Amino acid sequence: MNLVWPGRKVLVLENGVFAERISEMVRRAGGELRTVAFPYGTPIDPDAAGRAMREFGPEVVAVVHAETSTGVRNDVASIARHSRQAGAQLIVDTVTSLGGMPVQMDEWGAAIVYSGSQKCLGAPPGLGPISAAPSALDVRPAGMPVVSWYLDLGLIAKYVGSERLYHHTAPISMVFALREALAALREEGLPARFLRHRKASAALRAGLLSYGLRSLVADGAELPSLSVVSTPADLPEAELRGELLEEHDVEIAGGLGPWKGKAWRIGTMGEGADLAKVLRTLEAIGAVLQRRGMAVDAQEALGVAEARWRDQD
């Protein structure tokens, strides 16, 4: 809403539902939209993105760092090099990456990076942390206000800066909760936090693959915070997720977009990036699959997962 206005050229790099939502935001803001779409489960090709930038000449480029709908990690550093060469401002969605893997806004040269409080940061849901470069605050033409009053970064900057110009009543309890989550992150340390997320996701995927489920993410592009696998063939995946929740207190997510009914999305984020929670989840999934007639060995899956966790120490 701050970097897009009628006629401004925006390139959105899509490989999942949340990038597609960015495109919808651009349409609503009146931007001149161009999209480059890549198949679900595959990362964005930075060179293809660069070619699109040279052809289209965008003023803004938008990309999702960790695509929550597909479990794919995009190479934002390489995409950012192309956006800098194109002279475009870069917007990065880091909702499922902040706190679970490196987010390097300054190195990317991004104009705006935004995230969520509830995923790898491990705070309650409800806040959308953002960081805006100075260039993001002074770009709009004179006399063209941001169409969203509440999300006008210029007004917010005056509220939190030296002017203290009233803008809204801040959700103080949520801010304190986020502060505690960040204190816990700092105490653990970023390297240890990142390693814990990598270990948890690798252990989970190893156990899921031992059940015969198939990863839907291209090798090397998997997220440390989210695993996406195929659902068991010929079984009602929504019913299985219901049984996991009702009988085992384990909740996992279904697929989105074209993967609806065909995929399971299982997070290892924040406090969920924990071996005990991974093993409990695998054990519950094994019990549900066994009851549905699948020949799976839950103890073998747990052993595989534990071994994969230890391999990364």
Predicted confidence (pLDDT) at residue 275 exceeds the cutoff of 90: yes
**What average pLDDT does the segment 193-218 reach?**
98
Q: How confident is the model at residue 229 (pLDDT cuts 50, 70, 90)?
A: very high
Percent of the chain at pLDDT above 70?
100
Fill in the amino acid letter for 282.
L
Digit-coded pLDDT (tens) for 105-141: 999 999 999 999 999 999 999 999 999 999 898 899 9
Distance CA 208, CA 308 (A): 12
Check if the beta carbon of residue 285 is closer than 8 Å to that of residue 208.
yes
The pLDDT assigned to 137 comes to 87
The pLDDT assigned to 233 comes to 84
The pLDDT assigned to 123 comes to 97
Tokens 């074209």 belong to residue: 258
Q: Comparing 50-59, 143-152, 177-186, 294-303, which segment has the lowest mean pLDDT?
A: 143-152
The pLDDT assigned to 312 comes to 85
The pLDDT assigned to 138 comes to 84
* Domain architecture of the chain: domains with CATH: 9-115+128-160 (3.40.640.10), 189-311 (3.90.1150.10)
Fill in the amino acid letter for 129.
P
Q: How confident is the model at residue 21 (pLDDT cuts 50, 70, 90)?
A: very high
Digit-coded pLDDT (tens) for 248-257: 999 999 999 9
Assign 3-class secondary structure to the chain.
CCCCCCCCEEEEEECCHHHHHHHHHHHHHCCEEEEEECCCCCCCCHHHHHHHHHHHCCCEEEEECEECCCCEECCHHHHHHHHHHHCCEEEEECCCCECCECCCHHHHCCCEEECCCCCCCCCCCCCCCEEECHHHCCCCCCCCCCCCCCCCHHHHHHHHCCCCCCCCCCCHHHHHHHHHHHHHHHHHCHHHHHHHHHHHHHHHHHHHHHCCCCECCCCCCECCCEEEEECCCCCCHHHHHHHHHHHHCCCCEECCHHHCCCEEEEECCHHHCCHHHHHHHHHHHHHHHHHCCCCCCHHHHHHHHHHHHHHCC
Digit-coded pLDDT (tens) for 63-116: 999 999 999 999 999 999 999 999 999 999 999 999 999 999 999 999 999 999
Digit-coded pLDDT (tens) for 2-16: 999 999 999 999 999
**What average pLDDT does the segment 184-212 reach?**
98
- pLDDT, averaged across the chain: 96
Beta bridge pairs of residue 93 = 64, 114
